[in-house]
Amino acid sequence: NAGVMQNPRHLVRRRGQEARLRCSPMKGHSHVYWYRQLPEEGLKFMVYLQKENIIDESGMPKERFSAEFPKEGPSILRIQQVVRGDSAAYFCASSPTSGGPYEQYFGPGTRLTVT
């Protein structure tokens, strides 16, 4: 049973470029969450998605950041016109479709470096 997959694991972008981070949830999971971890900090919630729906984006910066979780394929976190302050580790987590408040299972993260 494969875990949460994220790619790429490392991404280097120059200022002004676009970054696309991908997340494939665990099999049977239809809830996806994105978090950002700045150096020496805990994870900060960004957005919660279900298939084709954004449920909660209260932690997402208002500009340059967007997320989607299409009917087919992985969830994508997109950062346009990256700046140095976007350098961080971005984690995706998934949880099961129904039932109780299941734990969130995390992927290995994507480390974004903006030069």
Partner 1 sequence: AQTVTQSQPEMSVQEAETVTLSCTYDTSENNYYLFWYKQPPSRQMILVIRQEAYKQQNATENRFSVNFQKAAKSFSLKISDSQLGDTAMYFCAFMGPYSGGGADGLTFGKGTHLIIQP
Binding site for partner 1 (CB under 8 A): 31, 33, 35, 40-48, 50, 55-56, 58-59, 89, 91, 93, 95, 100-106, 108-109, 111
Q: Which is nearer to partner 1, 20 or 57 (CB)?
A: 57
Minimum distance, C-beta of residue 115 to partner 1, in the bound complex (Å): 20
Q: Which is nearer to partner 1, 18 or 55 (CB)?
A: 55
Phi, psi angles (nearest 5°) of residue 86: -80, -10
Q: 6 near 106, Cβ under 8 Å? A: no
The secondary structure element, H or E, covering residue 79 is: strand 75-79
Q: Which residues sit opposite 66 in a β-bridge?
A: 78
